[in-house]
Amino acid sequence: MHANVHTDRAGGGGGSWRLPPDETLQVADPKQKEEQDLFPAEGHNWRSIVFSLLVIGFVITGIITAIYLLGYVDELLYWSGRRMKLDEFLQKDITPQRLPSVWINNQKFVFQADDGGLAVFDTATNSVATLVTNHTMRQINVKGYHCSHDLKEHYLISASWVGNLNEHVSVVWMTRSQNITVVSSCFSPTWKCVEHHTERAPENEWLDILPHPIFSPDGDSFLFMAGIQETGTEHFTHIKHITITQQRMAVISHGRYEVIRILAWDTVNHLVYYLGTHGKKPGQQHLYVVKDPVSEEVRRTEPTCITCDLSDVLWGSRYYYSNCSFFDAFVSSQPYVSQHIGISYYILECKGPGLPLAVVHAAHNHKLMRVLYDTRPFYASKLQELALPSQRSFEIPLPHGTRAAVQLLLPPSWREELRDAAFPVLVEVNGKPGSTSVSEEFKIDWGTYMSSHNDVVYIRLDVRGARGQGKQALYRHLGGVEVQDQIAVLRYLLDTLKFLDETRVGVWGWGYGGYVTAMILGSQQHVFKCGISVSPVTDWLYYNSIFTERILGVPAENYKAYVEADATQKGRQIPSYSYFLIHGLADVTAPYQHGIQLARSLSESGTIFRYLSYADEGHDLTGVIEHVYRSMEDFLRNCLSLDSDEDKPTEANVPHE
């Protein structure tokens, strides 16, 4: 508070002094002791200063948070497993997911049960016990990236602790152009890093972001996945073994198939377990095992496919796997492998085309130990009561000597003898480099519904650019060969399969598939009557730089390709009444500006189209997914002249004899 104090300034009055009437003195209110420290004799208002600092801190935090939330978190860093690193804490994104299964030691395997809870299988007692019953469990999912402005720094792809002492960290770096990967190690206490291996992309290709290398317990060697040339110019992802001290490299898997991931490295028995596709049927997924080159017995052995064609290895379990060609597996990871006996058990999970089940096998002889779960007794009879579509998968030739994988979902009303029947066609496109659409995994999704409920022949395609289909055709170009291949495949099917109605063909896609859909409709080839793009990417200048620069390079060096791949340019050629655009306002994968740009291009060209946006919804539109599919079905019902619900025969309107 302020007060006028009249005292003796001449020194009298016991040391008192007088202020002129126009001067004020700031004094503390004795009734408020806490304020006494905030207003010292100098007159500084510390409360305001502290408040200002807090405001500044909140603003800086808000800016950093906004940069992160508006950035792209689809690629690069992920959870390392044992000890949290600073970058993991700063870049964490808490999202609900289904928890992955894992061995917690050499005898116990934890998995998420059907009710959403956690269960543990004990190999010692051959029993399953429930740990947690919880339908809302969440998992920390760490992702992020670091981008260099001068094109000289590297992306930090992944990092993991080596050994049990946590004194050695292995780090994988990648150049911004993503054609060189470096595997290095950093050691405490100085954390000086040493490079171990450099991987370079083949000419006119890029390197994929792959799982972190698996190190041996002593840290002297490691396994990692890399592209290997098999025949001609074709490259397939396989496993390399690097010995650090001897600077020796060996390729331990080979063939015309893709290694999906390394499951475990049994350094006691010198065995490597991994998942891979099938050479002749890329839609399948199988469990393989191969000897590592550390073994003194044989320097190079052929990998053994444990699940392919129900070989002799699993012949005793053929009853359980009679309708299985898509497998997943869980093997004890390195820290939990016994140093004396190695890996003792593995879990084999059948995921299709039949109903899922999971079985425990002994590793040394592959004997069936226990069935963890089997959904067939509960759901097989229920599925038989449903009119589900039948599935057919095959390959067809493409220009330039390549082949495309095709999967048809034939409606229940389709019969081989119905030669003259004409069914409407709906094609689901993806086309994203490295993706796969044709799979023998069991699933009931919107495509199953459309085929069953609306008598639609539902088609999925894998063309050039898909996993195992090569990269050179897409290098420095997007929206070209993958779009033309989709059109060429459909034309081939329309000419070959007479039960497909060429006048009623629709196409749709999500994300990159939505982009391909817009490019197809704007190609002026008039094969498709209409299409739907959900959360599409339109202008690659404003998309995730990690993905875009991997294929197109930086805009300054390849700007022409960015212009040619711009869907807003092709959008001007989309016919009226043939396009449906759907996007979420909170999409951070393909931000809402992409949809706005495409809508503006369509409106400026005079195209009449349907546009649907959702507030507070992200890329997956999870909160309104049912409304999304109902809106899509309504659009296709008008476009493809599908039978309405009133026209379908029901028990009430079917005449009785």
What is the CATH classification number for the domain harbouring 165?
2.140.10.30
508 pLDDT above the threshold of 90: yes
In tens, the pLDDT along 55-88 reads 666 655 555 454 444 444 455 444 444 444 444 4
Lowest-pLDDT range of 87-91, 340-344, 445-449: 87-91
User: What SS3 class is residue 260?
Assistant: strand
pLDDT band, residue 611 (cuts 50/70/90): very high
Q: Are residues 208 and 266 in the same domain?
A: yes
Q: 296: burial class by Cβ within 10 Å (0-12, 13-18, 19+)?
A: exposed
| Torsion sign over Cα 449, 450, 454, 459 | negative
123 Ramachandran zone, left/alpha/beta (phi>0; psi -120 to 50): alpha
| Torsion sign over Cα 460, 461, 466, 469 | positive
Asked if the structure places residue 22 within a domain, the reply is: no
The helix or strand, by DSSP H or E, that contains position 454, with its residue range, turns out to be: helix 446-454
CB 179 within 8 A of CB 201: yes
pLDDT band, residue 529 (cuts 50/70/90): very high
Q: For the residues 22-47, what does the mean pLDDT come to? A: 49
pLDDT of residue 266: 86
What is the CATH classification number for the domain harbouring 501?
3.40.50.1820
Q: For the residues 572-578, what does the mean pLDDT come to? A: 90
Q: For the residues 334-349, what does the mean pLDDT come to? A: 72
Asked if the structure places residue 409 within a domain, the reply is: yes
**Rounded Cα gap, residues 456 and 222, in angstroms:** 50
pLDDT of residue 368: 84
**Rounded Cα gap, residues 150 and 139, in angstroms:** 35
pLDDT of residue 132: 67
Q: Are residues 262 and 346 in the same domain?
A: yes
CA 531 from centroid of its chain's CA atoms: 24
Q: At residue 329, what are phi and psi to the nearest 5 degrees?
A: -145, 155
The string of DSSP codes covering 163-219 is SSSS-EEEEEEEETTSSEEEEEEEETTTTEEEEEEEEEPPTT------PPPEE-TTS
Instruction: List strands edge to edge, sheet with 423-428.
Output: 390-397, 403-410, 457-462, 423-428, 500-510, 530-534, 579-584, 610-614
Task: Using the 3D structure, point to which of 328, 359, 381 is the last residue of a domain.
Answer: 381
Most confident option among 137-151, 283-297, 517-531:
517-531
Q: Are residues 492 and 458 in the same domain?
A: yes
Q: For the residues 249-258, what does the mean pLDDT come to? A: 86
In tens, the pLDDT along 163-189 reads 777 778 888 888 888 888 889 888 877
Q: Are residues 296 and 415 in the same domain?
A: no
Q: 352: burial class by Cβ within 10 Å (0-12, 13-18, 19+)?
A: buried
What is the model's pTM?
0.74
pLDDT of residue 219: 82
Q: For the residues 94-98, what does the mean pLDDT come to? A: 48
CB 175 within 8 A of CB 550: no
Asked if the structure places residue 205 within a domain, the reply is: yes
pLDDT of residue 98: 60
pLDDT of residue 14: 44
Q: For the residues 363-378, what does the mean pLDDT come to? A: 83
Task: Using the 3D structure, point to which of 381, 409, 438 is the last residue of a domain.
Answer: 381
Alpha-carbon torsion angle 55, 56, 57, 60, nearest 10 = 120
Q: Count CB-CB contacts under 10 A for residue 59.
A: 10
CA 113 from centroid of its chain's CA atoms: 23
User: What is the share, in percent, of the chain residues with pLDDT greater than 90?
Assistant: 22
Alpha-carbon torsion angle 71, 76, 80, 86, nearest 10 = -40
Joined together, the tokens standing for residue 368 give: 């069936």
349 DSSP 8-state letter: E
Pairwise pLDDT comparison (333 vs 214), residue with the higher score: 214
The string of DSSP codes covering 42-104 is T---HHHHHHHHHHHHHHHHHHHHHHHHHS--SSB----SSS--HHHHHTEEEE--PPPPEES
Q: At residue 313, what are phi and psi to the nearest 5 degrees?
A: -60, -45
Buried b (16+ CB within 10 A) or exposed e, 66-82: eeeeeebbebbbbbbee
Q: For the residues 103-112, what does the mean pLDDT come to? A: 75
CB 25 within 8 A of CB 31: no
Asked if the structure places residue 314 within a domain, the reply is: yes
pLDDT band, residue 11 (cuts 50/70/90): very low
Most confident option among 61-65, 244-248, 642-646:
244-248
Q: For the residues 598-623, what does the mean pLDDT come to? A: 92
315 Cβ contact partners less than 8 Å away, ≥ 6 residues apart: none
CB 481 within 8 A of CB 433: no
CA 277 from centroid of its chain's CA atoms: 18
Q: Are residues 338 and 482 in the same domain?
A: no
Number of domains in the chain: 3
595 pLDDT above the threshold of 80: yes
Q: Are residues 235 and 249 in the same domain?
A: yes
The string of DSSP codes covering 417-431 is T-TT--EEEEEE---
pLDDT band, residue 645 (cuts 50/70/90): low
Q: Are residues 591 and 524 in the same domain?
A: yes
**Rounded Cα gap, residues 180 and 202, in angstroms:** 10
pLDDT band, residue 416 (cuts 50/70/90): confident
Q: For the residues 110-130, what does the mean pLDDT come to? A: 77
**Rounded Cα gap, residues 520 and 364, in angstroms:** 52
User: What SS3 class is residue 126?
Assistant: coil
pLDDT of residue 54: 65
> Residue 228 corresponds to which amino acid?
I
233 pLDDT above the threshold of 90: no
Q: Are residues 221 and 252 in the same domain?
A: yes
Joined together, the tokens standing for residue 298 give: 């044989």
Asked if the structure places residue 586 within a domain, the reply is: yes
Most confident option among 191-205, 249-263, 294-308, 597-611:
597-611
Pairwise pLDDT comparison (53 vs 446), residue with the higher score: 446
Q: Looking up tokens 């546009």, which residue turns up?
A: 611
**Rounded Cα gap, residues 90 and 56, in angstroms:** 20
Lowest-pLDDT range of 51-55, 142-146, 148-152, 583-587: 142-146
pLDDT band, residue 49 (cuts 50/70/90): low
CB 466 within 8 A of CB 460: no
581 pLDDT above the threshold of 90: yes
297 pLDDT above the threshold of 60: no
Lowest-pLDDT range of 94-103, 125-134, 191-200, 349-358: 94-103
Q: Are residues 375 and 442 in the same domain?
A: no
Asked if the structure places residue 9 within a domain, the reply is: no
Q: For the residues 510-518, what does the mean pLDDT come to? A: 93
**Rounded Cα gap, residues 227 and 240, in angstroms:** 9
User: What SS3 class is residue 569?
Assistant: helix
Q: Are residues 372 and 486 in the same domain?
A: no
CB 588 within 8 A of CB 532: no
pLDDT of residue 493: 92
pLDDT band, residue 39 (cuts 50/70/90): very low
Q: Which domain holds residue 121?
A: 99-130
Most confident option among 62-71, 200-209, 333-342:
200-209
What is the overall mean pLDDT for the chain? 78
647 pLDDT above the threshold of 70: no
Q: Are residues 348 and 432 in the same domain?
A: no
Q: Are residues 479 and 349 in the same domain?
A: no
Joined together, the tokens standing for residue 173 give: 């770096």
CB 464 within 8 A of CB 398: yes
Asked if the structure places residue 46 within a domain, the reply is: no
Asked if the structure places residue 593 within a domain, the reply is: yes
CA 235 from centroid of its chain's CA atoms: 22
